[in-house]
Structure 1
């Protein structure tokens, strides 16, 4: 049994002090799982006083070794100033690291960065591409924003059929305003186009639910 798992067993048994002691030792030796766990513990104040700067430091240590979840959590803290100074450029960087590793929420937020020009040069095509990557694996807000991209012709060729499809998908995945946007786009479609776009969305959702199990 590794020291990490020894610490995990102690933690699960409620022996927090022993677990934290072992994880700190391992984190100082560069163990990414220990660094990440300590980041979460100090971020959430789980059994210790919350310490956001310390949490960010542990996240950063793990992120710099390629730990995707740590990169995403650090990006979130930097993005909103969660106990640390806001740094839009650094937030965008760590969102990019997590997005490249396949994190759908990071892909969506990186799309937002390119969409708004916050922390990155504004780039509608990059925004649409990252929204698409996130939407394709079921990130609902990315699907909604991708629908807007198609409706407005921002970063992609304007297509009411594609806009209707993605708004439909976003609505089915629970985005509150997506149904309203879908109905606005529907007014621009012929009955045949609306039927086709709806069928495409239904097929996508069926395949998505099969993939998700």
Structure 2
């Protein structure tokens, strides 16, 4: 009898943690409809309920969106710690927007402790997926020596990559970094940029439905 109970308990856990991409996507799309009021009455609570379902089914986009729901108190009670936990869960699945928001959370001590080194690590993961905001933030951190060893060359590299994506303020940061680099090192800048650029994954895939939810912290 105990053995049967243990098996049933294990099955219940597996069911609760099921990873069904098709169902996760369907629940995620339903959540977005309720959160936007598209084809249904606007209902933040119901939309967030569907986000929770999709998140349990493994959707990284749902976890990111759920993080914003907790951060803003949209359909649930505001809870910055849970917001961070959901951002982190999505970031660990490789979602660049979530990685960016984990970095911001560490810098702003929102839902977690302030930690510039961890922020830099997550910004770099996102930056290597062509996220211009993360590239810009890395430029700032390398220029100021926050969470990383101060390195004007690396600051220039990340500012320039962000500037190539027309990120606001990146061109100014690039020039500021360049002016602090010794003249004898200037000829190496293009090579340094090319080396880092070669590691960046192209961001040409269609943006997931829920990215409209990704607002700055």
Shared fold by TM > 0.5? Answer: yes
Q: Which runs of 5+ in 1 are unaligned?
A: 1-29
Q: Is the 8 A contact 2:129 2:203 kept in 1?
A: no
Partners of 1:122 and 1:208 in 2: CA distance: 27
Q: CA deviation at 1:62?
A: 1.4
> So what's the TM-score if we normalise by structure 2?
0.77
Match of 1:124 among 107, 116, 122: 116
Equivalenced residues, count: 184
> So what's the TM-score if we normalise by structure 1?
0.78
For the pair 1:169 / 2:161, whether they are aligned, the reply is: yes
**Map 1:191-210 → 2, pairs under 5 A:** 191-205=183-197, 208=200
Report the 3-state secondary structure (helix = DSSP H, G, I; strand = E; otherwise coil) of the residue aligned with 1:47: coil
Match of 1:54 in 2: 46
Partners of 1:203 and 1:157 in 2: CA distance: 19
**Map 1:1-213 → 2, pairs under 5 A:** 31-82=23-74, 84-205=76-197, 208=200, 212=204
Could you tell which deviates more after superposition, 200-209 or 50-59? 200-209
Match of 1:12 in 2: none
Q: CA deviation at 1:32?
A: 2.5
Q: CA deviation at 1:48?
A: 1.0
Partners of 2:166 and 2:199 in 1: CA distance: 17
Q: Is the 8 A contact 2:87 2:99 kept in 1?
A: yes
Q: Is the helix fraction higher in 1 or 2? A: 1
Q: Is the 8 A contact 2:45 2:74 kept in 1?
A: no
Q: CA deviation at 1:209?
A: 7.4
Structure number with greater CO (CA < 8 Å, separation at least 6) is: 2
Report the 3-state secondary structure (helix = DSSP H, G, I; strand = E; otherwise coil) of the residue aligned with 2:166: coil
